[in-house]
Structure 1
Amino acid sequence: MANNNNEVKITFKAFNQEFNKSMTEMNKETTLLRQEMKLQQEQMKHNASETEKLEAKMSGLQQIYEVAKRKTEETTATLARAKNLWGENSEEAKKLEEQLKRNQIAEQQATNAITGTEQALQRAKQAQADQTESLRQLQNLFSVTGQSVGDFSDLLGRDLTRAIQNGSASAKQLDTAFDKIARSSLNAGRDITELRASIRSLDSGSSVEQVRQDLARLGQEANEAEKEVNGLKDSLKSMAGAATAAIGVGTAVSAALESSSLDTSIKISFDVPESSRETVRQAVRDVQAYGVDGEASLEGVRRQWALNKDATDAANQEVVNGAAVITRAYSGIDFTELIQETNEVGKALGISNIEATNLISRLLKIGFPPEQLDKWGRKIYVECTRFRESKFI
């Protein structure tokens, strides 16, 4: 029996000798590939782009994966032969099964490394493309203004100016520089989206002079659009000044809704007489001019008129204009909800909606948290009392 076991061991050793030699050679090949990849990464550390580094790493990982794949395939074939010679549950087969698992893990690790590097490479390529596009648009802007980055060093700061000059600025930094320069040198109140579209037309064949004329036209449209929203009551002018000045051409022009579409919406959803529809229509246009989207502006105005059927059109219009100014001035405030809270505050404190709007504006100006407005009841009453006692109101 002992002799038989010895014969099995000797036979397995001879059978396994070629396989072990092959595994050893492939292990050495993997080690060498890793060393070469590490050396290459060090050599490229300071003189290659992120994309170039990742492409080189990807190449090395592909070679390592190919070796790992060969090891798995050869182990699988050797295991099949061992099972044929000594049986499925033999000691020899179990040893090879353990080695196969180790090799499969190594192959999967190589696959995961390739996947992660490929994703990083795609991100780097996208970042490089974004950087190229942002740099081209900034250069186009310089062409339109007739200036260079050095002329705006005080505006941009030393670090950003230097990064742009040496080509290390990211797409985000270049976009920031574009916005600052555009607002400073062309028109501080102009919508940057519209301006970018005009500048980008240089890439499709427009001349610098054509773009300058287009920008001049946009400036005129912005001025005309702003005039449409300047009819606020004297009581709101102090609040409206800053908000109106901040409206860009894209926002202001979008306020000019298609008349037929707006009229249809008013007829369907508003319970107001024919004589009030023009005022309602203008109120919606004014609210949209402050940056409130179409659906919210329509619903907020509808709610104001519905909750105050006995109020005059002029009074309701003043309330929605005031609410629009507040919504524009303080982030996180929902226009429609503000209309609701204004009515509830007025009702709770026994004051008019206009007085409630002015009250909320004053509370916000002296630091009342915008997110607390929905807790209008006792909270606002207590705050009002405290502020009155402190002579803030």
Structure 2
Amino acid sequence: MSNTRTNTSTKPLFQPFTSEKLTLPNRTVMAPMTRGFSPDGVPGEDVAAYYRRRAENGVGLIVTEGTGVNHPTSVSGASIPVFYGEKSLNGWAQVVKEVHKVGGKIVPQLWHVGMTRKEGDLPNEEALPVGPSGLSLSGEKVTEPMTDDEIANMVEAYAQAAADAKRIGFDGIELHGAHGYLIDQFFWENTNQRTDRYGGDIIGRAHFAVEVIEACRREVGPDFPIIFRFSQWKMNNFNAKIAETPEELENLLQPLVEAGVDIFHCSTRRFWEPEFEGSDLNLAGWTKKVTGKPVISVGSVGLDGEFTSFAGANTTSLDGLIEKLDNEEFDLVAIGRSLLMDPKWVSKVRDGQADDLLPFNKEALKKLY
């Protein structure tokens, strides 16, 4: 494959991106990927260097791995990073510094795992998991539903994290509302059986997310980018849907736009799959259509196997992706496992070195490349 042809064919991926609050040198985004290399929740020099390597190799925007908001059960593991407390925030400030030093941009993904946390998980093994109705993803009752006070405190925990992100120099925030974690547990009928203002129809079930977004917006002011990640699928159910139709999708997302979301990060397992019958648009394409907001598409970019199988995967052509990007179905493209294996993935694609791209090997999960 000649350099010229490759460079021409991937050109849409390397156009600058400009929205109201965010300007990026190209359309590539590092997808958030939990790594578990932060002992006691504190990201160290190795984590800062890991993100820096992606920035210096041309990634347009880095979204960090999920990092827990200030709540005893926000994460389920002693080496998963958190976003509160002096040590952890100093660690994150160092990450930002390293990424900015090489001209990169970075946002933290603010996270609470909700009812996916098992009883007895570290840290804080005595703390019980929390969720809208105390139900696990499979619908079993584990704990009591969150009270109004618990919900209000949780909203404030997100707001505090947003304020801290701005204070320590991040370029925006991403709220994790996908994959069956806390915010998504409010969205999904199977895990949200509430009959108060946080439950009921799709608009009621979006109310918790609305409060979180509004509280974050209040803390960061009008000009700081808020990205919101959501998905239809859940960790235990790849066929789950919150929205069965484009109309339902609009009912879910419009309140989030009004609350202050600037960009939607639409998580699918395979970016090429249509979301609704009768249209080739994927979830990102539909989200852009019904909200008018910029969108990030994601899902097995550059690989021939979806990440949820956790097996190896080979590299594959980017032609279908570039075509959709060129058609403006979505604005930005998040790359996960390809970038986890190879910090130079973006620069290799840019420079026409497709033959040098590395296949994904699950052993890569054990190391910070």
Larger radius of gyration: 1
Q: Which has the higher helix share?
A: 1
Q: Which has the higher strand share?
A: 2
TM over 0.5: no
TM-score (norm 2): 0.21
Whose RCO is larger (CA < 8 A, sep 6+)? Answer: 2
